[in-house]
């Protein structure tokens, strides 16, 4: 049954793996070595099984098409738990259950759950293997889909095991679709258990157990589960680190001066598009270090340095086009996996926004034949359909992704969300603590990446609402502690942006490559350019003159609307923030309450 556990030299890892084998009783065990031969064999196996369909090799070399169960297409926040010893430590924004009770429930589901299947043991590194900020995990799964995706999204294989050694630390991450096969029963391509989906993090023991779901956000355990929910706890305990739902980009001026910026947006609000943006301003260039997660740590020089702990993109397909993100399209031209998109008759893929018109004929993400002019276009692909692609295939990958294993220095941090009103195009916080207030009060209209009513406004602090592994108010306190750990002047400047202001259904700002104009203004602020901003009650806003609008035709009335503070609307916003913060009770930091009080006082003074 066991074919290669000899690769595992770490004593704790070996003992843990053997425990899972005894509990789950797989037919086979395969420890992934990360080789090219291995992934070729795995892909072929998934094609034979029917999980993968090989796409047209002339159009999409080494690319595969797959689906998940129609009821299993997004993160399941209602089934995601932080099982700390005390409920208070999980906080009011996380689901909680006593860890002993939860493990009892999970182990009952896990017993014999891999019967008839192969157990894949995946040693993986989040971040460059052996890097100072990097960490190691081992995922066990009975899903070949997960194994193939993890091979793209993380560094997998024997090199990781060498760094782990005999007694190195790792995060144990268990996943199963928990659909055991009886003798003679044929496996289905996309198994899951809709009635028993649990995505559980145990902060004190740094463990992850995910069962019942095959969708990537619930099963690629290196991603949100490890890189955010567990890593936030590890970062808090280290004291000088942050694990954030942020892109990392480099931006270079025509003069060759480079800055690195991180930015936090809720899922499907444009992080990937910004991270790979083609600048509309002549001579400016954006390069991507990462599009989704940033691990940051204070260096000896007192500055925050960031890495992208992932090695691939798990991108939202709908809306990705030549206009919005041509670099993402180039990235997934080869060696990619497409999930829940439409399949064209010539063996290619399609999703909403890829072209102006859908294909004449296609197969929908549910496997049904579809004809243009006859069937509903909404049936073609799921709004949260995805592509998984290797970052090395990105034409604008930043050299530092490969050459700076200990991170890049962060000059600015941006927060943003999808807001049709109230929030201006861009503004700078007054200082670090005020910036933490901005992060704690991020609100955005709900997107397809999470379950719930589309368009509904919800607070999503730091874009971390579903991803913080402990009490979010204590997380605010951790952010507020950084000025005491270094020279505050060395910390990144903090900004807030909103590309999504609308009036009469029309966007007031063109977005996409034109967002480079906003980044240029941010750099002006970093470098202390005079007369680049005006002080307002909510922070420092650009003057129309300080934004480089050369070659851009936007009515001045529209510009004034997106660069003006509506005092009455913001006073109403303050009350919403205060109400949202109230749920944290005594855990809410007094410094944050003081910042909100000060904001309200400035707004009232401006009103008078």
For 447, the 3-state DSSP assignment is coil
Question: How far is residue 602 from each of residues 21, 436, 484, measured CA to CA in Å?
Answer: 61, 17, 26
Q: Where are the alpha helices (DSSP H) in 404-546?
A: 432-440, 472-480, 516-526
Give the Cβ contact number of residue 585 at 10 Å: 12
Secondary structure class of 212 (helix, strand, coil): coil
63 is catalytic: no
Q: Which two tokens stand for residue 147?
A: 């194994």
Secondary structure letter of residue 369 according to DSSP: E
Q: What is the dihedral of CA 319, 323, 326, 327, to 10 degrees?
A: -80
In 3D space, the residue among 209, 86, 64, 92 whose CA is nearest the CA of residue 585 turns out to be: 92
- Burial of residue 549, with CB atoms counted within 10 A of its CB: 0-12 exposed, 13-18 middle, 19 or more buried: middle
Cα dihedral across residues 149, 362, 383, 195: positive or negative: negative
C-beta of residue 425 within 8 angstroms of C-beta of residue 509: yes
Length of the chain: 608
- In this structure, what is the dihedral angle of CA atoms 284, 285, 289, 290, given to the nearest 10 degrees? 90
Kind of pairing, strands 28-31 and 304-307? unpaired
Residue showing tokens 């397909």: 317
Instruction: Report angle CA 353, 354, 359 to the nearest 5 degrees.
Output: 100
Neighbours of 592 (CB within 10 A): 24
Structure tokens at 491: 């910390």
506, burial (CB in 10 Å: exposed 0-12, middle 13-18, buried 19+): exposed
Q: Which residue out of 24, 63, 113, 269 is catalytically annotated?
A: 269
Kindly list the catalytic residues.
269
């Amino acid at each position: 049954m066991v074919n290669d556990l000899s690769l595992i030299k770490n004593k704790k890892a070996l003992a843990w793996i053997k425990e899972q084998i005894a509990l789950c009783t797989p037919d086979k065990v395969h420890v992934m070595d990360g080789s090219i031969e291995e992934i070729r064999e795995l892909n072929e196996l998934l094609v034979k099984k029917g999980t993968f369909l090989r796409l047209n090799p002339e159009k999409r070399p080494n690319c595969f098409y797959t689906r998940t169960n129609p009821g299993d297409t997004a993160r399941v926040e209602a089934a995601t738990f932080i099982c700390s010893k005390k409920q208070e430590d999980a906080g009011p924004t996380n689901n909680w259950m006593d860890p002993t009770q939860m493990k009892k429930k999970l182990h009952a589901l896990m017993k014999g759950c891999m019967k008839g299947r192969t157990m894949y043991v995946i040693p993986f590194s989040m971040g460059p293997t052996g890097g100072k900020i990097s960490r190691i995990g081992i995922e066990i799964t009975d899903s070949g889909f997960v194994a193939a995706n993890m091979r793209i999204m993380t560094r997998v294989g024997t090199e990781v095991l060498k760094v782990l050694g005999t007694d190195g630390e790792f995060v144990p991450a268990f996943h199963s679709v928990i659909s055991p096969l009886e003798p003679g029963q044929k496996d289905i391509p996309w198994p899951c258990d809709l009635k028993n989906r649990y995505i559980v993090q145990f902060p004190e023991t740094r463990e992850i157990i995910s069962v019942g779901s095959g969708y990537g956000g619930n099963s690629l355990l290196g991603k949100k589960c490890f890189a955010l929910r567990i890593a936030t706890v590890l970062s808090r305990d280290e004291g000088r680190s942050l694990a954030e739902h942020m892109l990392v980009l480099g931006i270079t001026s025509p003069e060759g001066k480079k800055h690195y910026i991180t930015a936090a947006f809720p899922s499907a609000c444009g992080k990937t598009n910004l991270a790979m943006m083609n600048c509309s301003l002549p001579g400016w260039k954006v390069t991507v270090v990462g599009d989704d997660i940033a691990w940051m740590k204070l260096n000896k020089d007192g500055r925050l340095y960031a890495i992208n702990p992932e090695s691939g993109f798990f991108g939202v397909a709908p809306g990705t086009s030549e206009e919005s993100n041509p670099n993402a399209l180039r990235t997934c031209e080869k060696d990619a996996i497409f999930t829940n998109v439409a399949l064209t008759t010539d063996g290619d893929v399609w999703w909403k926004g890829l072209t102006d018109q859908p294909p004449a004929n296609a197969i929908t993400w549910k496997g049904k034949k579809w004809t243009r002019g006859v069937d509903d276009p909404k049936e073609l692909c799921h709004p949260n359909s995805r592509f998984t692609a290797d970052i090395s295939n990105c034409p604008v990958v930043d050299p530092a992704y490969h050459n700076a294993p200990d991170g890049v220095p962060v000059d600015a941090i941006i927060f943003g969300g999808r807001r049709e009103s109230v929030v201006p195009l861009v503004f700078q916080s007054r200082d670090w603590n005020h910036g933490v207030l901005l992060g704690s009060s991020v609100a955005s209209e709900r997107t397809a990446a999470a379950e719930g009513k589309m368009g509904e406004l919800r607070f999503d602090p730091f874009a971390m609402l579903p991803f913080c592994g402990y009490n979010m108010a204590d997380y605010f306190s951790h952010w507020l502690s950084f000025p005491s750990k270094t020279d505050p002047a060395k910390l990144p400047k903090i900004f807030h942006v909103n590309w999504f202001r609308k009036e009469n259904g029309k966007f007031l700002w063109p977005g996409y490559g034109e967002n480079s104009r906003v980044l240029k203004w941010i750099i002006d602020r970093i470098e202390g350019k005079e007369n680049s901003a005006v002080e307002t009650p909510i922070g420092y806003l650009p003057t129309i003159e300080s934004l480089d609008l050369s070659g851009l035709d936007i009515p001045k009335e529209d510009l004034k609307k997106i660069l003006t503070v509506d005092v009455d609307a913001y006073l109403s916003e303050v009350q919403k923030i205060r109400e949202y913060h109230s749920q944290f009770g005594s855990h809410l930091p007094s410094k944050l309450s003081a910042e909100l009080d000060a904001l309200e006082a400035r707004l009232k003074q401006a009103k008078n």
